[in-house]
Amino acid sequence: MALLLAVAGAGLQRFDQWIAQTVLPVTLAETSTEVLDRDGALLRVYPVGDGIWRMAPQLAQVDPDFIAMLIAYEDKRFQTHVGVDPLAMLRAVGQALWHGRTISGGSTLTMQLARLLEDGTTGAWAGKLRQIRLALALERRLSKQQILGLYLTHAPYGGNLEGIRAASYAWFGKAPNRLTPSQAAL
């Protein structure tokens, strides 16, 4: 029993070191240049070099109902997990085994952010393992608010739109703190 505990302890320590040694990718890509009037109203936005419209939001500039809907739909245990949600992964694996195909994913918002930051894919096991490692490292080094802010900046919203601010202005012509519940749900 003592040997088993020692082996388990060494394994956990090695896993902890593996996560601690993770090199984080650049967490904030270039954001669009914004031209404001003297009162701070948005006049014009320019895309970044690769043609992407990416406007960095402050969480205070995003409707709290939108954030609540996002978390409820994408990652209901966002506030309590450490970057990976074992229950969601078990559910996804169980559904895949039962139905013989992928029914739903088990990625957390942090894992999705890891994929977005790396510009990677989730199809292969190696990609999923890399996302898990990066998600665990992100959760160790950033607060939940920082992770949510980065996700709200990098998440794709169709075509060349990235982030809730760019999408809100492009789709609805208004700031994300002025979205109606229907618009936020969409």
DSSP per-residue codes, 36-64:
E-TTS-EEEEE--TTS-EE-PPPGGGS-H
pLDDT at 67 over 80: yes
Mean pLDDT of 95-108: 82
Q: Which residues pair with 35 in a beta bridge?
A: 44
Averaged pLDDT score across all residues of the chain: 87
The two tokens of residue 40 are 């701070």
Tell the CATH superfamily of the 21-185 domain.
Biosynthetic peptidoglycan transglycosylase-like (1.10.3810.10)
Overall pTM > 0.75: yes
79, pLDDT greater than 90: yes
User: For the chain, what are the domain ranges?
Assistant: 21-185
The tens digit of pLDDT for each residue in 103-160 reads: 777 789 999 999 999 876 666 677 788 899 999 999 999 999 999 999 999 999 999 9
Residue 136's identity, in one-letter code, is L
Q: Are strands 161-162 and 53-54 parallel, antiparallel or unpaired?
A: parallel
CA nearest neighbour of 113 among 72, 70, 80: 70
Q: How far apart are CA 129 and CA 121, in angstroms?
A: 11
Answer whether 44's CB lies under 8 Å from 35's CB: yes
DSSP H or E run through 4: helix 2-20
Q: How far apart are the first and last CA of the chain?
A: 54
